[in-house]
Amino acid sequence: MGAAPASRDVTSYGMGLAAPLALFFLLFFVAPLLQLFWLSLHNDTAGLHWGLGQYLHFLTDPFSLSVLGSTLLLGAEVTAVCLVLGFPIAWLYQRVGPRLQTIIILIVLLPLLTSVVVRTFAWIVILGRQGIINATLQSLGIIDTPLKLLYTQFGVVIALAQVQMPLMTLPLITALGRIDPNLDDASCSLGAGSWRTFFRVVLPLSLPGVIAGCTLTYAAAITAFITQSLVGGGQMLFMPMYLYQQASTLQNWPFASAISIIFLLAVLAVVSVFTTLGRLSRGYGGA
Amino acid sequence: MAEAQGGRSLVVDAVTHRYPSGALAVENINLDIKGGEIIALLGPSGCGKTTLLRIIAGFIAQTQGRIIIGDDIVDTLPPNRRAVGIVFQNYALFPHLSISENVAYGLAARGIDKATRQRESQRLLELVQLPTMAERLPRQLSGGQQQRVALARALAIKPSILLLDEPFAALDKNLRLDMQIEVKRLQRVSGITTLIVTHDQEEALSMADRVAVLSQGKLEQFGTPSDVYDRPQTLFVNTFVGSSNRMPGVVVSADRTAAKIRLDAGAEIIARPAAGALTEGGRVTVCIRPEHLQFVGDETGFAGVVGMSLPLGATVVHEVTTADGSGVKISQARIGETRALDSGAAVRLAPLAPSLANAFPATL
């Protein structure tokens, strides 16, 4: 070991290490994306005539717009369900003993440990006309005719929420774990009730986790091709399936490319809203 | 105004707390604290002092006994309705709120309007001498400043009792003294009954009107700093507060106020029976503080050999080995030119006065 130059910062050699991944991304992500974009700028399926016709078609077609709208709405619904159900679990996790913590983590991670296809078929069994829910309700005499649960927005949201729950809960657990437990006591001793403590202290301080969780859940929910298609069935069409139909079934690659680009931009817009919120709330993170 | 209100009394009445595992955290603690007093709860870590503080604050419901603030039994009140102000060891300021929002937090919880809140928080920040910090965030302040804010925040709700949990432990030595003076000043101004939990005996003795010494969940002694230091009631208090030489011996004769004891080190001395009457012939432990020993020239004291002399600035501490092989420390004030003692020098030692040697029945 020679004498290292005194000015060398020990943390400055990081960039070279990222090169393999950067190369991989460039080859298999950036390049295809550029190709996709290039393809979307053609008006005909053969790719001979340049133009913005595919974009114009999508943006003026009420059907296409409604598919985009319902996909973004689906993401919002799944995110909301995950947040409302996941927050109490994460909160509970920080307040129980180590044994219960292990059990909670196991339950939270369980959806990640089974295949998407298996989980989705399980939901079909649960939600179907002769499924577990309908059979139980009918045998109890609560309903006469089976409820329509499968192939509905409700079914898709529930199935997706279960699958994406870990993506919400894990960042929340981390964020809540960083909050000094004394702050709860301090708030309480100053006269605040549980709700005031929650909204003035716990929630603001957990915002970085909320935003990370929402971003992950949202992005995962709107692109979940298998669950959307199997639980949603033929009547419900979301962007990933729409894209798949245009590309594989109709062989309309330029239009499929344009859909991809529009979908990508829409997702980026939503995610950047989340990250902006995250940046604004960063002042809260220094607990 | 808290300043005008004066302090309310606090009675801890036969409080016992058991952990869910069944282990005793605190056992039968009785404290009768007058309005406006500063009390220190002193003890080693794990002695139950923080548990007692959390019981008073309402975070823990005690197994038995009552907490009475003023004329009210507060046992059924949750912490947010006890009006007890707490300064936490790590200050627990809300990191996302500005200094003035932190101070006004308790006022907002009471539904006080914004203008009054701002006026109050400004007044309190002036009281703790931080009037220009209102818009900063806690992390932009130094440790001492954060502690002042924590104090202002606790005082803002005009608490009937102020609890300080190891308030100076995280501060460096010079700042600690400044803050101790500051807390004492604020307490004088506001007159709020104050309880300080600490493991630092100097802090307890210098700040408190009365000190409650706790050990293993039990109250060892509750008295003024000079009571606790000069007239300890238990062997634990004698050795935990200040330093003390423990010398074993046998009771030769004893009445209520004095006992003649033959030390194993080889001398008869008169000592004070600190924990009640002693029985003749019983074994005792005599505690004598290093500063309460003197060198004697005649044949009265017990003999020893000087091992090491440590000049500690204002005092010099000599380590002396006695005839029975145990070590005894003696500290002398450095007045004029103190004669240095050579290692190996033969000396004789005796207590300065009989009342300064405390005899406790020996525990097996």
Residue-wise burial string across A94-125, b where 16 or more C-beta atoms lie within 10 A, e elsewhere: beeeeeeeeebeeebeebeeeeeeebbeebbe
Higher pLDDT, A285 or A9: A9
Compute the distance between CA of residue A61 and CA of residue B55 in angstroms, rounded to an integer.
68
CA distance B154 to chain A (A): 7
pTM: 0.80
Residue A6 scores a pLDDT above 80 = no
List the domain boundaries for chain A: 61-284
Q: Are B296 and B350 in contact (CB under 8 A)?
A: yes
Question: Would you place residue A2 in the very low, low, confident or very high pLDDT band (cuts 50, 70, 90)?
Answer: very low
Contact B207, B179 (CB under 8 A): no
* Whether residue A245 has pLDDT greater than 50: yes
CA distance B38 to chain A (A): 20
Give the integer Cα–Cα distance in Å for B331 and B49.
32
Q: What pLDDT does B164 receive?
A: 94
Contact indicator for B50, A185 with CB cutoff of 8 Å: no
Rounded Cα distance, A82 and A221, in Å: 10
Cβ separation of B86 and A193 shorter than 8 Å?
Answer: no
Could you tell me the domains of chain B? Answer: 2-235 (3.40.50.300), 243-361 (2.40.50.140)
Residues A160-185: what's their mean pLDDT?
A: 92
Q: What is the per-residue pLDDT across B129-188, written as a single tens digit (0 to 9) for each?
A: 888 999 999 999 998 899 999 999 999 999 999 999 988 887 888 888 888 888 888 888
Is the domain covering A61-284 a CATH 1.10.3720.10 domain? yes
Q: What is the pLDDT of residue B115?
A: 93
What is the token pair recorded at A78?
A: 């799944």
Q: In angstroms, what CA-CA distances link B318 with B83, B131, B345?
A: 51, 50, 11
- Tens digit of pLDDT for each residue in B47-96? 999 999 999 999 999 999 999 999 899 999 999 999 899 999 899 999 99
| pLDDT tens profile A200-214 | 999 999 988 999 999
For residue A13, the model assigns a pLDDT of: 64
Q: Which residues of A touch B153 (CB under 8 A)?
A: 186, 190
Asked if B80 lies within 8 A of A190 by C-beta distance, the reply is yes
State residue B26's pLDDT score: 92
Which residues of chain A are within 8 Å of residue B165 when distances are taken between CB atoms? none
Least confident of A87-96, A142-151, A257-266, B61-70: A142-151
What percent of chain B lies above the pLDDT cut of 90? 49
> Pick from B79, B137, B153: which is nearest to A188 by CB?
B79
Average pLDDT over residues B4-12: 77
Which residue does chain B place closest to A203, by CA atoms? Answer: B96
Per-residue confidence band for A9, with pLDDT thresholds at 50, 70 and 90: low
Q: Has residue B1 got a pLDDT over 50?
A: no
Task: Quickly list H helices, chain B.
Answer: 2-5, 49-57, 99-109, 114-127, 143-156, 173-190, 201-207, 225-230, 235-240
Cβ pair B165, B50 in contact under 8 A:
yes
Closest C-alpha among A211, A224, A268, A219 to residue A83:
A211
Using 50, 70 and 90 to split pLDDT, how confident is the model at A285?
Answer: very low
Residues of B in contact with A180 (CB under 8 A): 90, 92
Q: Does the interface ipTM go beyond 0.85?
A: no
> Hey, is the C-beta of A178 within 8 angstroms of any chain B C-beta?
no
> What is the enclosing helix (H) or strand (E) of A273?
helix A253-280
Residue of higher predicted confidence among B244 and B337: B244
Give the minimum alpha-carbon distance from A86 to chain B in angstroms, rounded to a whole number. 23
Which among A260, A92, A284 is positioned nearest to A172, based on CA atoms?
Answer: A92
Query: Within an 8 Å CB–CB cutoff, is residue A54 touching chain B?
Result: no
Residues of B with CB under 8 A from a CB of A: 57-59, 78-86, 88, 90, 92-96, 105-106, 109-110, 137, 139, 153-154, 156-157
CB contact under 8 A, A188 and B80: yes
Q: Report the C-alpha gap between B302 and B322 in whole angstroms.
A: 8
pLDDT in tens, A12-48: 666 778 888 999 999 999 999 999 999 889 888 777 7
